[in-house]
Amino acid sequence: MIKGLKIYISCMAVGMAMVTASCGGTKTDRVETVAGDDFDISPAVGGNPVEHVAEIDSLALNADDLDAHGAVAVLLGYARIADDAESAHQSRKRLVTIRKFVDVYDITLSNNGDDMRQAMERARISTGVDLKALADAYREQLSGEDEAAGVEEGEVAPKAPADSVKPADQSVAAVDSAAV
């Protein structure tokens, strides 16, 4: 109950921060004043990102609504989770996390190109993490995984054939109606 209340309060705080950031000022002013150099997602999710994956996923589900600062914080959280999964030899968790990272990266860069590039540069300076290089490395790893699994780029999994077995009652019904 208390954990749920903490999560709710954290989400409300992030929501209020986003609403406050979106009010007034020019777009450039807003990025500079809201972003700052603190990209730590821990306060928004209630602690260590590795222990609060669900909260980061919740923020990522609304990637279209994230400002550049929030998007960079989510990406840094995912990068930390992926690193932790790699150290714990949890390859499946790592692959899932880097897929999420790439999805959020693509969406937010598409929606907020210039602001996102500025925020990523500030994050690189303040944290030492180059999100663009990380996204490129993750894409390469994912394509290697897809190749190993035998999936080619753009390939769609083969469709299951339609029912290949003719229902028995259709043939019986035809015989019964002919006999009458």
Domain ranges of the chain: 2-157
Examine the pLDDT at 45 and tell me if it is beyond 80.
no
pLDDT, position 118: 95
Mean residue pLDDT across the chain: 72
| Distance (Å, whole) CA 127 – CA 50 | 17
Location of structure tokens 């589900």: 61
Inter-CA distances, 26 with 34, 62, 91, 125, 146, Å: 12, 23, 43, 24, 43
pLDDT for 57-87, tens place per residue?
Answer: 888 999 999 999 889 989 999 999 999 999 9
| Distance (Å, whole) CA 26 – CA 10 | 27
Give 120's contacts (C-beta < 8 A, 6+ positions apart). Answer: 72, 130, 131, 132
Single pTM value for the model: 0.60
pLDDT, position 39: 62
